[in-house]
Amino acid sequence: MKTAGWRSALIYGSVIALCQPLAACGSADAPVASTKDRGGAAKAAPIPANAPLIIAFGDSLYAGYQLGPKEGLAPQLQAALAADGVAARVQNAGVSGDTTAAGRQRLAYVLDHAKAKPALVLLGLGGNDMLRGIDAAQTRANLDAMLAELKKRGIPVVLTGMVAAPNMGPDYARKFNPIYPELAAKYDTSLYPFILDNVVGKPELMLGDHIHPNAEGVKIVVAGLAPLVESALPDAK
């Protein structure tokens, strides 16, 4: 992870204990104004019905906690891709409060009931495991199983990582933090090391709970994530 990412992680540790119960938000079928359009007035072109499907499968950081229907990760990512000339539908499959165990249980259902075979899955779970102090070995095993399922189905993945808050202690961090880079290497998967890099600890980019990004914070996440998604998306351009 970049040095800036570790600085963000340390700040994250100072506020993570304030985390409150989470609530799910909606999906991202309609495009929104480009994240690159700081004026915010441009109207995005319609996404073709046969455009590749990207499933954003995660927890509250994916679900759009306390954000409007066009402000979460899925709609903002869809708009950013469109602004780059990449037409894709980004489906919000985030469920607030999900652990890796819960995600593992529902992954096959989401994939089996998708409107089309996903061209790419964004996988972002583990933060709630860390908050609850769940054994890192369980987190690793659940993520490993999900990545194995996606590989079996021939679906490329972008894995978005999490880091252990310092208040979890060095022993927990030594077990938890290597999970994402090691699994990304095992499955030859694209990795965004820390989903809240350059966002957490900046009040202007966070909700009042100091844990979840606001709409502007999501823009920062998407700005870092979109190029990785574009490079991982088969035949994106």
CATH of the domain at 139: 3.40.50.1110
Nearest-angstrom CA–CA distance, 146 and 178: 17
What would the mean pLDDT of 148-174 be, rounded to a whole number? 96
Of the listed ranges 26-40, 59-73, 100-114, 160-174, the least confidently predicted one is: 26-40
pLDDT of 210: 84
- Into how many domains does the chain fold? 1
- Higher-confidence residue of 182 and 5: namely 182
pTM recorded for the entire structure: 0.82
Q: What is the token pair recorded at 23? A: 């609530």
In a domain, 166, yes or no: yes
| Domain that residue 12 falls in | 3-31+49-232
Q: To which residue do tokens 């495009």 refer?
A: 31
Identify the sign of the CA torsion 172, 177, 179, 180.
Answer: positive
In a domain, 141, yes or no: yes
In a domain, 40, yes or no: no
- For 66-78, the pLDDT digits (tens) are 999 999 999 999 9
Annotated active-site residue in 60, 96, 190, 197? 60
In a domain, 20, yes or no: yes
Backbone angles phi, psi at 232, to 5 degrees: -85, -20
pLDDT of 46: 85
Residue 91: closest CA among 103, 75, 105, 102 = 75
DSSP for 154-197, please give it: T--EEEEP----GGG-HHHHHHHTTHHHHHHHHTT-EEES-TTT
In a domain, 104, yes or no: yes
Of the listed ranges 69-78, 88-97, 124-133, 203-212, the least confidently predicted one is: 203-212
- For 1-53, the pLDDT digits (tens) are 333 444 444 445 444 433 333 333 333 443 333 333 433 334 567 889 899 99
In a domain, 138, yes or no: yes
What would the mean pLDDT of 77-81 be, rounded to a whole number? 97
- For 117-160, the pLDDT digits (tens) are 999 999 999 999 999 999 999 999 999 999 999 999 999 999 99
Annotated active-site residue in 135, 171, 209, 231? 209
In a domain, 187, yes or no: yes
**Is 209 marked active-site?**
yes
In a domain, 107, yes or no: yes
Strands laid side by side in the 89-94 sheet: 89-94, 53-58, 120-124, 157-160, 190-192
